[in-house]
Structure 1
Amino acid sequence: MKKIIDSHIHLDLYMGKETEEVLDGMDSAGCTDLISVSFHLESCLHNLRLAEKYRWVHAAFGFHPEQELPADEDLQDLLSWMEKHQEQMVAVGEVGLPYYLRSEKGANFSISGYIELLEQFIVKARQWDKPVILHAVYDDAPITCDLLEKHGVEKAHFHWFKGDSKTVRRMIANGWFISVTPDVVYEQEIQELVKAYPLDQMMVETDGPWRFEGPFSGKMTHPNMIHEAIAGIASIKKCRLEEVYETLYKNTADFYQLKLV
């Protein structure tokens, strides 16, 4: 079994025995490490506990954009807590812009506050010398790129990215990374992205517990699904499977500065 790293999972959102199922299945999946991203302060606290208990769990702290903006006091509590625990996080994340929430709310929904919030997190990531993990798709991606370029961010990870070819070229030129989900085996949009993006700027993820369709329909999302994603990437890129495994593993370990055993 080739080694893998799940570069983006919400381990704290799995329910009860599902968490145990993920963690107990790490060895059989060949998964050596997980990057568990956070939704808000409570989520950060949960992920920190998981990281302290399991050496293969690495926590990222942030505020997921697909929710109502935090009150000023709550935001200050989160940022103060992150400042205090910056040595215990591998990245600032998940942060970004609310594309799906905006689509749901309609034309009158303003994202100005979300842009300001994202910029605060980007500034903090630079200050703390941490990578930033981004939820920024379609129309929101160029706005996010503007902010990253404004603040000179070199280590940016766009998870489950979807967007236009111009933005893809911009991201590649800036040296930013994407991560590919298991839906690469059945979604043409993701397959086209993989075809265009350099392998040496790519990682793989599950975004669990989000569930997938196709061959994964009805199954709990688990890092073992990454193997099918990697096979799909190798086929699209017309590369040896072993080369793809090695490159994706090294990309992720280097990007997050993981101390691998």
Structure 2
Amino acid sequence: MTAPPVKRARWVDFHCHLDLYPDHAHLIAECDREGVATLAVTTTPRAWSRNREMAAGANHVRVALGLHPQLVSEREQELGLFEKLLPEARYVGEIGLDAGPRFYKSFEAQERVFERILRMCAEQGNKVLTIHSVRTVAKVLQHLEKAFPADRGQVVLHWFTGSAAEARRAVERGCYFSINSEMLKSAKSRELVEQLPVDRLLTETDGPFVLVAGTAVRPVAVSNTVAQLAELRHVDPEEMRHQILRNLTMVVS
């Protein structure tokens, strides 16, 4: 496994779908040029090998092996491929649960897949997981407590939308949280993010799904998120930037 994308990085985008941009290769080069330590998540196991091949020469891009909960209804059969590829993957994501109206019908299958992935990761150990938890934070934490002991790897909750009580439970479990610009738009979300321990924060874009002025954000846009977090926490932006980098080091070391 290649080294973690920390050395000489200036920024962190811990959850981005690089392969869903039209200029995938250019974006990888941009991450290197701008020093954005980027976790390129995948939505299906079949996408992982090509993503890894494209990022093979990158200094700051790492690729995560994923099976997105929103695709479980049509991709559950790829779980065998996931298991075959997992020994080669340090990073795992996007995985998780989604109980939104469009995907609730597959929730039983989602839970089955999620628990199996967690058990595989626990068996192998030293994995870093980025987890989707739409309307399912309590369920996600329940599965983690059941199938993925805290000493078997690190967990980052991507685009966290749970309650303050669920956030406290996640912190007690040892989870980190990746924050994007969309999460800082509402007063309620800002209040929740403000309460999270600063040493558990990472930044993300979730591009290309987050838009600014109708255009998909790119990994370098995390610089704006760092500035917003600094303002929210009443610290200097450079201090917040260095804190995020320290947090990344803790997650991937």
Tell me the TM-score range normalised by the shorter chain.
Answer: 0.7 to 0.9
After superposition, the CA RMSD in angstroms is 2.1
Confirm or deny that 1:176 pairs with 2:183: no
Matching residue of 2:3: none
Q: Given that residues 67 and 98 in structure 1 are in contact (C-alpha distance below 8 angstroms), is that contact kept between their aligned partners in structure 2?
A: no
Matching residue of 1:251: 247
Q: Report deviation, 1:184.
A: 4.1
Confirm or deny that 1:199 pairs with 2:193: no
Q: Which amino acid aligns with 2:231?
A: S
Q: Aligned to 1:132, what secondary structure does the other structure show?
A: strand
Which digits, 9 at most, give the CA deviation of each residue in 1:11-66, with x for residues without a partner?
11111xx22442343356442x2111111122112221123132321111120101
Question: Equivalences for 1:6-155 in 2 at 5 Å?
Answer: 6-15=13-22, 18-26=23-31, 29-31=34-36, 33-70=37-74, 73-83=77-87, 85=88, 89-100=89-100, 103-104=101-102, 109-129=105-125, 130-138=127-135, 140-151=136-147, 152-154=149-151, 155=154
Matching residue of 2:222: 226
Instruction: Quickly say closer, same or farther: Cα 1:105–1:172, change in 2 above 3 A.
Output: closer
Q: Distance in 1 between matches of 2:103 and 2:95?
A: 19
Q: Given that residues 32 and 59 in structure 2 are in contact (C-alpha distance below 8 angstroms), is that contact kept between their aligned partners in structure 1?
A: no
Q: Distance in 2 between matches of 1:73 and 1:29?
A: 38
Instruction: Quickly say closer, same or farther: Cα 1:70–1:27, change in 2 above 3 A.
Output: closer
Structure 1 unaligned segments of length 5 or more: list them.
Answer: none
Q: Distance in 1 between matches of 2:76 and 2:18?
A: 27
Identity of aligned residues (%): 23
Q: Distance in 2 between matches of 1:11 and 1:27?
A: 13
Q: Which amino acid aligns with 1:4?
A: W
Q: Which amino acid aligns with 1:97?
A: L
Matching residue of 1:5: 12
Instruction: Quickly say closer, same or farther: Cα 1:165–1:185, change in 2 above 3 A.
Output: closer
Structure 2 unaligned segments of length 5 or more: list them.
Answer: 1-8
Which digits, 9 at most, give the CA deviation of each residue in 1:71-105, with x for residues without a partner?
6653212211223x2xxx232211101233xx125
Q: Report deviation, 1:110.
A: 4.8
Q: Report deviation, 1:70.
A: 4.9
